[in-house]
C-alpha cells in the first residue's frame, strides 16, 4: 500500500461520487463553506455527466440539447457567476411532427385544425368534457392521470404513441407519479389543450411551456467544465476523472470508505484506491450503489435495487451540409413509423456550436431504448444510416446532405417510473437512510426524473444537511489519508 498526499488545512473530508451537475454543485458548495477537503470521483474522462458537451469534427453536441431553466434565483445566480456573461437568453422554438404535419408549440389553433381536421378537434373537446363529468375514480397509472386531465381522445391520439416510444412500456404500466411530477415531452397534447382551454390553463402553465431559456455559447457542458476548473483551483479539492467507484465499505452504522479503480483497467492488475472520509455524497445510480456496498446489503434490498429500471438513450449526431435545416431548437417526433423521438438542432442553440455554421448544421437525433434490446447493439454505421433515412422520411433533410455522423450511448439516461418503482425505491432509500454520513442527490442518485436545476438544489440541500450535522457535533477524528493498492 502507498500513501497518497493529503490536502491542505483539511478539517473534514468529503467524498463525492460523480462530476455531473449535482456532484460539482456539492463540491463547490462544500468548498465555499470552507471547512472541507473535497474529493470528486468521475468514471468518465470528462465532467458534466448527462449535461456534458462532446465535440466531433468541429461540431458540438449535448446529450440532447440541455437548456437552462429554473425558478430558483439561487441556481440562476450560480449559473451566471460561473458563465460570467457567456450565458445567453433564447426564445424557445419547438414543433411537433405528427401525421406528416409540423404543429407549432405552443399550438396555434388554426395550425391544429389544419393538421388534425375540424372533426377530430371536436371529438377531442367532447371527450375532454366527458371525462371532466365522469373522471376515472382510482388513478393508478400515467394513462389514468392523463385521461382524467385531457380526455381519452387526446390521450390516445397524442400521448400514447410518444410516451411509449420514450419509455418503452405501456402507458397503463407507467406510474401516475411521473405525470403528476412532470409531464415532459408530451408537447402536442399540452399545446392542444393550451390552445383550446388557454384561459383556464394559464394558471397551471407547465414549466416546459416556458418560452425563454439560457444557454452557454459553446454548449451546456462548458458550464460544468468551468465549475470543475474552479474546484480544481482550490487547494482543498481533488478531482479524478476516468475513475469509477467499485465499492462502498460500511460498518452497519456509517459509510467508512470508498474504493475506486481506473476505468478500463478490469484486465490484469488494477489499481484500487481506498478513500476514507467523514461524509460521502453520491450521484451514482441507486441500483449500482446498493450493489457496491461491502458488506453486501440485505437480500431484500438488493432485490429492490435490481428492480429499479433505467431507460437508455442513443443519440445519433449528424453533420448536415446545409446552413439552415429548420428554425426549431427541438422537434418532437410523435409519428409511429419513425423510430426517433426527438431532434435537437445545435446551431439554433448557439452559432458557436458549429465552427463553420455558414456551411454545416449539427443535428442530434434521440432514440430511446432499453440496453438489453437488439436496438442498443446496432452498430454506429447502422444507426447513422437509420438517422439519415428517417430525416429524409419526415421531409427534413435529404440523406445525401448528411456528410458525417457520430453515435453516443447513455445506458442510464432516464430513471423509469414503472408501476412498482415506488415500493422498490422506498426499500432502497429506507435502507440507505441508516447511514447518516451518506447523502444521496441528483437524478439517478435519487432515482428522480429531474432537470439540472433540481439536481443542483438537491446537492445544495445535501450540503446544508451536512453543515447542520457539523454545527451540532463537535469535531471528531479526521480519517487517515487515502491508500492505494493493487488487486
Ligand atoms: C436527453 C436528456 C435531455 C435533458 N435535457 C435537459 C434540459 O434541457 N435541461 C435540464 O436542466 N436538464 C436536462 N436533462 C436532465 C439533466 O441531464 C440532469 O438533470 C442532470 O444531468 C443530473 O445531474 P446529476 O449530477 O444528478 O447526474 P448525472 O448528470 O447523471 O451525473 C452523474 C455522474 O456520476 C458519474 N458516475 C456514475 N456512476 C459512477 C461511479 N460508479 N463512479 C464514478 N462516477 C460515477 C456519471 O458518469 C456522471 O458523470 C436532460 C437529460 C437527458 C437524458
- What are the tens digits of pLDDT across the range 220-269? 999 999 999 999 999 999 999 999 999 999 999 999 999 999 987 655 56
pLDDT at site 104: 81
pLDDT at site 480: 46
pLDDT at site 341: 93
- CB 446 within 8 Å of CB 432: no
- CB 7 within 8 Å of CB 209: no
Ligand 1 midpoint to CA 195 (Å): 33
Q: In sequence order, which residues have a C-beta less than 8 Å from that of residue 289 and are 6 or more positions away?
A: 17, 248, 282, 305, 432, 440, 445
Find out whether the peptide bond into 177 is cis, omega within 30 degrees of 0: no
Q: Which grid cell is 406? A: 457520430
Calculate mean pLDDT across residues 292-316. Answer: 98
Atom 41 of ligand 1: nearest residue by CA position: 245
pLDDT at site 304: 98
Pocket test for ligand 1, best of 26, 263, 451, 458 (most atoms within 8 A of CB): 451
For residue 206, is pLDDT > 70? no
Classified as helix, coil or strand, 109 is helix
Residues 14, 211: Cα–Cα separation, whole Å:
39
Residues 250, 295: Cα–Cα separation, whole Å:
7
pLDDT at site 183: 56
**DSSP letter, residue 394:** T
pTM across the whole model: 0.90
For residue 118, is pLDDT > 70? yes
Atom 8 of ligand 1: nearest residue by CA position: 66
Pocket test for ligand 1, best of 69, 90, 452, 460 (most atoms within 8 A of CB): 452
What is the pairing mode between strands 271-276 and 483-486? antiparallel
Atom of ligand 1 nearest to the CA of 67: 8
pLDDT at site 79: 98
pLDDT at site 267: 54
For residue 413, is pLDDT > 50? yes
Average pLDDT taken over every residue of the chain: 88
CATH numbers and ranges of domains, the chain = 2-49+220-306+419-486 (3.50.50.60), 105-202 (no CATH), 310-415 (3.90.660.20)
Pocket test for ligand 1, best of 221, 246, 283, 343 (most atoms within 8 A of CB): 283
Atom of ligand 1 nearest to the CA of 22: 25
Classified as helix, coil or strand, 175 is strand
pLDDT at site 26: 98
**DSSP letter, residue 295:** S
pLDDT at site 20: 98
Calculate mean pLDDT across residues 392-408. Answer: 97
Nearest in space to 311 (alpha carbons), one of 131, 191, 174: 174
260 lines ligand 1 (CB under 6 A): no
Calculate mean pLDDT across residues 108-124. Answer: 79
Nearest in space to 314 (alpha carbons), one of 168, 110, 161, 152: 168
Residues 106, 191: Cα–Cα separation, whole Å:
5
- CB 144 within 8 Å of CB 155: no
pLDDT at site 202: 52
228 lines ligand 1 (CB under 6 A): no
DSSP per-residue letters across 358-381: TT-EEEEEEEEE-TTSGGGG--HH
pLDDT at site 486: 42
Contacts 24+ apart (CB under 8 A), 251-254: 252/434, 253/434, 253/435, 254/435, 254/436, 254/437, 254/438
Amino acid at each position: 500500500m502507498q500513501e497518497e498526499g493529503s490536502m491542505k488545512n483539511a478539517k473534514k473530508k468529503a467524498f463525492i461520487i460523480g462530476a455531473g451537475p449535482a456532484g460539482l454543485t456539492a463540491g463547490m458548495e462544500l468548498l465555499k463553506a470552507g471547512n472541507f477537503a473535497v474529493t470528486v470521483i468521475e468514471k468518465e474522462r470528462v465532467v458534466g455527466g448527462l449535461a456534458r458537451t462532446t465535440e466531433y469534427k468541429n461540431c458540438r453536441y449535448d446529450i440532447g440539447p440541455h437548456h437552462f431553466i429554473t425558478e430558483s434565483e439561487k441556481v440562476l445566480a450560480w449559473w451566471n457567476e460561473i458563465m460570467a456573461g457567456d450565458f445567453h437568453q433564447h426564445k424557445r422554438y419547438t414543433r411537433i411532427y405528427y401525421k406528416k404535419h409540423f404543429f407549432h408549440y405552443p399550438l396555434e389553433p388554426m395550425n391544429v385544425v389544419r393538421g388534425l381536421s375540424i372533426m377530430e378537434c371536436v371529438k377531442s373537446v367532447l371527450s375532454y368534457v366527458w371525462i371532466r363529468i365522469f373522471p376515472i375514480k382510482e388513478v393508478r397509472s400515467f394513462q389514468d392521470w392523463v385521461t382524467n386531465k385531457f380526455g381519452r381522445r387526446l390521450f390516445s391520439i397524442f400521448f400514447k404513441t410518444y410516451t411509449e416510444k420514450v419509455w418503452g412500456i405501456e402507458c397503463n404500466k407507467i406510474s401516475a407519479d411521473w405525470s403528476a411530477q412532470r409531464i415532459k415531452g408530451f408537447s402536442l397534447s399540452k399545446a392542444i389543450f393550451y390552445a383550446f382551454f388557454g384561459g383556464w390553463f394559464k394558471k397551471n402553465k407547465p414549466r416546459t411551456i416556458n418560452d425563454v431559456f439560457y444557454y452557454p455559447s459553446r454548449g451546456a457542458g462548458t458550464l460544468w467544465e468551468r465549475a470543475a476548473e474552479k474546484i480544481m483551483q482550490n487547494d482543498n479539492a481533488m478531482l479524478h476523472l476516468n475513475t469509477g467507484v467499485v465499492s462502498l465499505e460500511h460498518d452497519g452504522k456509517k459509510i467508512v470508505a470508498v474504493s475506486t479503480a481506473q476505468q478500463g483497467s478490469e484486465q490484469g492488475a488494477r489499481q484500487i484506491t481506498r478513500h476514507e472520509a467523514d461524509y460521502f455524497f453520491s450521484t451514482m445510480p441507486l441500483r449500482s450503489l446498493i450493489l457496491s456496498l461491502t458488506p453486501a446489503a440485505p437480500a431484500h434490498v438488493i432485490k429492490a435495487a435490481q428492480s429499479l429500471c433505467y431507460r437508455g438513450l442513443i443519440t445519433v449526431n449528424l453533420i448536415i451540409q446545409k446552413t439552415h435545416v429548420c428554425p426549431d431548437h427541438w422537434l418532437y417526433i410523435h409519428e409511429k413509423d419513425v423510430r426517433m423521438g426527438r431532434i435537437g438542432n445545435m446551431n439554433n442553440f448557439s452559432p458557436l456550436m458549429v465552427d463553420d455554421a455558414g456551411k454545416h448544421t449539427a443535428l442530434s437525433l434521440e432514440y430511446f431504448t432499453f440496453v438489453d434490446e437488439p436496438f442498443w447493439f446496432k452498430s454506429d454505421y447502422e444507426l447513422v444510416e437509420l438517422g439519415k433515412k428517417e430525416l429524409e422520411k419526415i421531409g427534413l433533410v435529404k440523406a445525401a446532405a448528411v456528410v458525417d455522423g457520430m453515435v453516443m450511448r447513455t445506458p442510464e439516461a432516464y430513471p423509469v417510473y414503472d408501476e412498482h418503482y415506488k415500493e422498490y425505491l422506498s426499500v432502497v432509500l429506507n435502507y440507505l437512510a441508516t447511514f447518516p454520513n451518506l447523502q444521496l442527490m441528483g437524478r439517478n442518485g435519487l432515482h428522480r426524473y429531474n432537470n439540472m436545476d433540481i439536481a443542483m438544489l438537491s446537492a445544495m440541500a445535501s450540503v446544508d444537511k451536512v453543515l447542520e450535522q457539523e454545527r451540532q457535533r463537535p469535531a471528531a477524528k479526521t480519517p487517515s489519508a487515502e491508500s492505494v493498492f493493487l488487486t
